Amino acid sequence: MAVVLSGIQPSGSLHIGHLVGALENFVALQKGNTVFYMIADWHALTSKYNQAEVIQPSVYELAATFLAVGINPASSSIFVQSAVKEHSELQLLLSMTTPLSWLERVPTYKEKQANSNADLNSFGFLGYPLLQAADILMYQADKVPVGEDQLFHLELTREVARRFNHIFKTNFFKEPQAVLTPTAKVLGLDGRKMSKTYNNCIYLSDEDSAIKEKCTRQMISDPKRVKKSDPGNPEECPVFGYHKIFSSQVDQEEISQGCRTASIGCFDCKMKVAENLIVKIAPVRERAQSSLRNPKSLDDILMDGNGQARKVAQGTMDKVREIIKLPKF
Ligand code: TRP
Ligand code: SF4
């Protein structure tokens, strides 16, 4: 069986981009694979080091969301990164053979450093992608379902594995493959990348009324269609982009026709997006809320997952120490 591993940072507020860009893929990949889904709390710490108290509630929220979207803890290991200390040891050992320049040239490194309010001029933040490489290589993952923004980190992981294998004349580490979702990227309400920083997200925790408000009041549509009597071109409208992802074929055809013939107004069109989003989000939100009311059972699931992950991680580290010929004490 192929091994699948992925991780998400518990930095609060999962949005619909996470749902279609990552979580739906996580669910689909459970079939026929050995699966590890990790809550990357140490990664969250690289930028939230002075607000670590926000991490714990987000860990629970993320665990609850994993369950709510259909990740089955009986077959998939859901675990917390910091509960498996071996990740940190592997990052340290890999750091010996990873050139500094490889980390400095990661595009997200300079970009995030420049855009963040926190001072990210730290060793920990520079090491972010190497910690991610350790997460992946630890489980000998074959497939890593991620969003497009993570492709560089995956490439770096492959290079780190290759260099380790070369230096220690081994073929121990496998080179993982990224798995992208087939769905187009979900843009934010303002047409930019969906991101908390831009305040343009629809969150998985949004109530139905908030979803309707956001869609009808904040979602931008084709500025060329000014009046309802103007025929529009759905292919040029970001609202139709949402229909393509969240609406049925029948709805899409009806909207497309209605827009081109000016028989439907933009308000109704946006309301339809909202309704279709609600069909998808409301059950996830409700299931997540109900697991959050029972933190004890979330703890049990995480404890189980941590144990399963730790067992694999310990095996990997025994092997890695042996390959490096570390002294045993
Ligand atoms: N960096 C990833 C993100 O921000 C999260 C992550 C951490 C991850 N470790 C990982 C993803 C390992 C895949 C595999 O989305
Ligand atoms: Fe866009 Fe819908 Fe208005 Fe057409 S009807 S312009 S697709 S919001």
Domain boundaries, the chain: 2-186+294-324, 206-288
The mean pLDDT of 2-7, rounded to a whole number, is 98
Q: Is the CB of 156 under 6 A from ligand 1?
A: no
> What is the share, in percent, of the chain residues with pLDDT greater than 90?
89
Helices (H), ranges, the chain: 16-18, 24-28, 41-48, 55-69, 86-95, 100-104, 107-115, 123-126, 128-138, 151-167, 208-213, 238-246, 249-260, 266-292, 295-324
> What is the whole-number distance in angstroms between the Cα of residue 63 and the centre of ligand 1?
15
Q: From CA 250, how far away is CA 243, in angstroms rounded?
A: 11
Instruction: Give the nearest ligand 2 atom to 256 CA.
Output: 7
CB burial of residue 281 (10 Å; 0-12, 13-18, 19+)? buried
Instruction: Give the nearest ligand 1 atom to 9 CA.
Output: 5
Residue 34: pLDDT band with limits 50, 70, 90: very high
Residue nearest atom 3 of ligand 1, based on CA coordinates? 8
Task: State the fold for domain 2-186+294-324.
Answer: Rossmann fold (3.40.50)
The mean pLDDT of 284-290, rounded to a whole number, is 98
Pocket (CB within 6 angstroms of ligand 2): 221-222, 225, 232, 234, 237, 239-240, 259, 264, 266, 269-270
- Out of 1-10, 88-97, 123-132, 218-227, pick the least confident: 218-227
The average confidence (pLDDT) of the chain is 95
Residue 149: pLDDT band with limits 50, 70, 90: confident
Is pLDDT at 197 greater than 90 in this prediction?
A: no
According to CATH, the superfamily of the domain at 206-288 is Tyrosyl-Transfer RNA Synthetase (1.10.240.10)
pLDDT, position 11: 85
pLDDT, position 133: 98
The mean pLDDT of 30-45, rounded to a whole number, is 97
Q: What radius of gyration do the chain's Cα atoms show? A: 22
Q: Which of 179, 171, 133 lies closest to 26 in space, CA to CA?
A: 179
Is pLDDT at 89 greater than 80 in this prediction?
A: yes
Backbone angles phi, psi at 38, to 5 degrees: -110, 140
pLDDT, position 114: 85
Q: From CA 264, how far away is CA 210, in angstroms rounded?
A: 23
> What is the whole-number distance in angstroms between the Cα of residue 196 and the centre of ligand 2?
25
- Out of 115-124, 197-206, 260-269, pick the least confident: 115-124
> What is the whole-number distance in angstroms between the Cα of residue 8 and the centre of ligand 1?
5
The mean pLDDT of 111-133, rounded to a whole number, is 91
Q: Which residue has the tokens 């107004």?
A: 265
Q: From CA 189, how far away is CA 48, in angstroms rounded?
A: 26
Is pLDDT at 184 greater than 80 in this prediction?
A: no
3 state DSSP class of 203 = strand
pLDDT, position 44: 95
Residue nearest atom 7 of ligand 2, based on CA coordinates? 234
Is pLDDT at 166 greater than 80 in this prediction?
A: yes
pLDDT, position 182: 82
